[in-house]
Chain A
Amino acid sequence: MKHFIFFLALIFSGLSFFYFNKEDKVNVVEDRTIRIYASASFVAKWGPGPALKELFEKQNIFKVEFIESPDVAMTLQKLNFEKQNASADLILGLDQFDIARSAAKIEWRTLPALSDDMISEVAGALKSQNQFMPYDWAPMTFVGRQDLKVQIDQLDDLLKPELKGRIALQDPRTSSPGLQLLIWIFETKPTEQAIVYLKALMKQAHSFSAGWSGAYGLFKNKQADLVFSYVTSPIYHVVEEHDSSFVSIEMKEALPIQIEFAGIPKTCKNCEGAEQFLRFMASQEAQKIIMNKNYMLPVIERAKEATEFDAIKVYRTLPIKFYDQEKIEKWINQWTEIRKNEGL
């Protein structure tokens, strides 16, 4: 009996091995399908993915297939390994840091100009590169409740004694918003002052969460009075929870911006379809969907007119920059050193 079972198991495992390693696997994918890697919250029913897919498929002959990407770093590494066998046609959810890190590893297609009326804040991102298209953005700042007793106008106000241990932050070693804050501090202050400031900020921090969701959870649970998040965060509470008690805080310093980009790897199988989808993403209808479902600002003019997003005052923002790896690592090391010495 066991010989028989063993034999069958051997045959089937061999067959599975060949199935998963076959070279021509990607040819099976129909030419008209565009395979798009996007984050779970983009693909989810409440995210913009399903609505975009429906609208796009109505307007075009292409079919859209969303593939959930666990983490951009992982997806990029997977693409790097698969090389010509990679089946991704379009990658969504890349931020400035991903672009800086992945530029050398993966080859991307050069994109033609996909939209003429990009807003000025993100248009800068297209000056230095033409391989990634921004599709949404939001300035980042501190979000609090309206009944916050402390007046905050600038970064230095965060050091007020009333806020000691009351700010939920993200760890820059594991989270993009955390890295944004760190870079913001180093960009707006001279290095020496930035280090002194960071040291003082450590005492104000409630905690450094591994990701944005952890920090935001603490803030929502009233463990913290302030959280570093997106300017657009309060809109979510207004729209979905009918709660207008959250406010994003305007600062004297220009705010850092988080832009989400899309890119087409050179190994794409349906490159034409992917480009078509990008063009669609830059359209008014698609931008509205992304804005309403992702709670981020549109990248083209007029898309937010007559919506809740129009009420958001767009604060002064820092020009978009792609930082090189060494610089980021240097800042992270400084942060780690300060954190190490400060902690218990």
Chain B
Amino acid sequence: MKAFKQPFSFISAALLCYFLIPYLIFLKYFNLDFNLDYAEAWWAFKNSSLQAFVTAVIVTGLSIPLSFGVFTLKNPWFALTQKLLLLPQILPALFSILIVFSMVDPFPMGTTGIIIIFTVMHLGFATVLLTAATQERMGSFGLIAEVYDVGRFKFYRRVYCPLMKSNLLTIFVLVFIFCFASFSVPLVAGGGRGTNLEVLIYEKIFINQNWSLAWTLNLLQSFFIFILSYLILKKSALPKVDFEDSKYMQFRLGRVGLFIYLALYGGGYLMGLVKARGALAQFQALLPEIILATQHTLKIMVFYILINILLLITWVYDYVKSGRQNSSRHLLATSTILVGFSFYLLIPETSLGDYFKIILSMTILFFPPLFRSFLEKPLDQLDSQILTCKIFNISTSKIVFTVVLRQIKKPIFLWLSFLTIWFLSDFAILKSLGVRTATVGLMAESFLSSYRLSLAYLLSFYILIVWVFTLLAIYLLKGVFGVINKKFAS
């Protein structure tokens, strides 16, 4: 693609600027303050890295047998299990913490405790990610190996690991980054090692009201993650292949592990729900407000999805045009509180402002990591096709819409479903944005901060139902568009 590389692309720069908006705002309002306690920052950095590294190793390792466990299932269980595996990602961190505390009693506080909670929180997500990646990459290698009777372990060693290396690395880095920038878990389960960089950032704001220092720390944290992502996550352009299931890709013990994981987590959650049934009357009394909040949420979500799709089209257009992925893909863990604050500072508190704030912040925070998880690889795999199209002088927009987007429909759907879950269930961002429009996420947050844990449990269950219906709606729309497309094509 080098021959087509352009020295400067306006779209690339505009995209990068979009994701850098919070940084630009802070640059305008604050000066960098390097008057840090370096020993303290280093200590926090060491804690963050240690916890995140060990968790990432364990989660990546465990996700392999669990993903083989997923392959032993047939539809609809295959799809349902994947949705259930996302449960720990959807629920507020506090719920996961409570469930893990109930599961592991007595709970080992300290680094071990943090790692246990992190593992439970991210294992499901990593398994779903790996299952999707395996379907993309493995093709019929499993089946061929089975026909040639290569042997299970030789297959893992010689075929699976080399092929999936880059995907496993992606999962490793993503889990590492999520844990690295986590806030509440290290404090609750942390013992002395509970201090990480995110806690330090919050401390600078809460105790000293020193925003400059908090912003400097965030910049250091983002820079570290940027470098990590830049150095480790290299492009791999193996073409996408059709997946054939095989005996080697199935692992019964993995299925057992999967069910234990789901039973423990889901069971813990169900227990919470059962205990919360006493608050059902209160919940019913609040139903009109909840429905109103749902309407607001859905309204904002439509715009949010549209903006994300627009961003994706721009991104793909830029990729086709310039031959390289936008650099903002390395912006994987911007501090939630600082993004929230930058928009809180800049955008007025009107309902229109709320729309802007929510959509801007959520796209900035969620687009890069989810693009990284689901779309980057499939896009890279189309490199050779894009090159061929360019040689035939096919226009860029035609390449984007008819060649690229059509071939990555499945990952786009997966990406969209994650965008919606994260949108529906994010409580921390909405709170730090100072949003006035009542949304379900915000309601759950205010339940949690005012004795009403039971109501928060019930609301989280309601959010799950809304999510499933939203996915159904997206799936239906996808089908409708498919039919319309085919009609026009014929």
Contacts and interface: CB of A to CB of B under 8 A. Distances in A.
Interface of A: 20, 25, 39-41, 44-47, 67-71, 73-78, 81, 87, 101-102, 105, 165, 171, 173-175, 206-214, 216-218, 220-221, 223, 233, 236-237, 240-241, 295, 325, 328-329, 332, 336, 339-344
Given A70-B433, A340-B192, A20 B347 contact: yes
B98 A342 contact: no
B388 interface: no
15 contacts: A67-B436, A70-B344, A74-B434, A87-B348, A105-B209, A171-B199, A207-B187, A208-B187, A209-B184, A221-B101, A295-B451, A328-B207, A332-B207, A343-B190, A343-B194
A47 B289 CA distance: 13
B109 interface: yes
A210 B349 contact: no
A214 B450 contact: no
Contact of A342 (B191, B195, B346, B452): B191
Interface stretch (B134-142, B297-305, B441-449, B464-472): B441-449
A77 B211 contact: yes
Contacts of B436: 67-68
B116 to A, nearest CB: 13
B94 to A, nearest CB: 5
A270 B120 CA distance: 51
A213 B93 CA distance: 12
A173 B206 contact: yes
A208 B199 CA distance: 12
Given A74-B205, A171-B187, A218-B97, 7 more contacts: A39-B449, A40-B446, A70-B344, A74-B341, A210-B183, A221-B98, A343-B194
A178 to B, nearest CB: 10
A184 B102 CA distance: 31
Candidate in B112, B211, B341, B434 with the most chain A CB atoms within 10 angstroms? B434
B193 interface: yes
B247 to A, nearest CB: 43
A221 B282 CA distance: 19
Contact of A336 (B94, B106, B195): B195
Interface string B177-213: 0000001100111111111000100110111110100
A72 B393 CA distance: 58
A74 B189 CA distance: 27
A217 B434 contact: no
Contacts of B446: 40-41, 44, 47
B318 to A, nearest CB: 12
B278 interface: yes
A287 B190 CA distance: 40
B249 interface: no
B207 A214 contact: no
Nearest to A9: B14
A328 B43 CA distance: 22
B453 interface: yes
A295 B450 CA distance: 10
B94 A67 contact: no
Contacts of B107: 223
B432 A70 contact: yes
B29 interface: yes
A75 B434 contact: yes
Given A40-B442, A105-B209, A45 B286 contact: yes
A236 B272 CA distance: 20
B333 interface: no
Main secondary structure of the interface of A (DSSP, over half): helix
Contact of B187 (A77, A174, A295): A174
A212 B207 contact: no
A8 B303 CA distance: 19
A207 B187 CA distance: 8
Contact of A340 (B43, B206, B286, B349): B43
B345 A78 contact: yes
B49 interface: no
Contacts of B194: 171, 208, 339, 343
B183 to A, nearest CB: 6
B431 interface: yes
B346 A220 contact: no
A40 B453 contact: no
Given A20-B347, A295-B451, A173 B192 contact: no
B168 interface: no
B435 interface: yes
Given A101-B209, A339-B192, A236 B432 contact: no
Given A217-B448, A325-B208, A344 B192 contact: yes
B82 interface: no
B340 interface: yes
B187 A210 contact: yes
Given A174-B202, A233-B451, A339-B194, A71 B211 contact: no
Question: Top 4 closest A-B pairs, CB basis?
Answer: A343-B192, A344-B110, A343-B191, A41-B450
Choose among A39, A45, A211 the residue with the greatest number of B CB atoms under 10 Å from its CB.
A45
A27 B278 CA distance: 48
Given A25-B348, A233-B451, A344-B192, A73 B340 contact: no
B398 to A, nearest CB: 13
B166 interface: no
B110 A343 contact: yes
Interface string B326-344: 0000000000000011001
B453 A73 contact: no
Nearest to B429: A70
Contact of B192 (A206, A209, A241, A341): A341
Contacts of A46: 286, 450, 452
A217 B206 CA distance: 22
Given A81-B29, A213-B448, A343-B192, A220 B453 contact: yes
Given A73-B206, A213-B94, A218-B101, A20 B346 contact: yes
Contacts of A340: 43, 192, 195
A12 B387 CA distance: 35
A303 B347 CA distance: 40
A344 B187 contact: no
B94 A214 contact: yes
A75 to B, nearest CB: 7
Contact of B106 (A165, A221, A343): A165
Q: Which of B94, B348, B353, B451 has the most CB of A within 10 A?
A: B451
B111 interface: yes
Contacts of A233: 451
A105 B208 CA distance: 12
Given A74-B432, A342-B191, A173 B340 contact: no
Contacts of B110: 343-344
A198 B346 CA distance: 42
* Most chain A beta carbons < 10 A, residue from B207, B208, B349, B449: B207
B25 to A, nearest CB: 11
Nearest to B288: A45
A210 B194 CA distance: 10
B208 A174 contact: no
A78 B344 contact: yes
A217 B94 contact: yes
A240 to B, nearest CB: 7
A271 B155 CA distance: 76
Given A77-B345, A173-B203, A233-B451, A344 B109 contact: yes
B111 A344 contact: yes
Contacts of B209: 73, 76-77, 101-102, 105
A290 B29 CA distance: 37
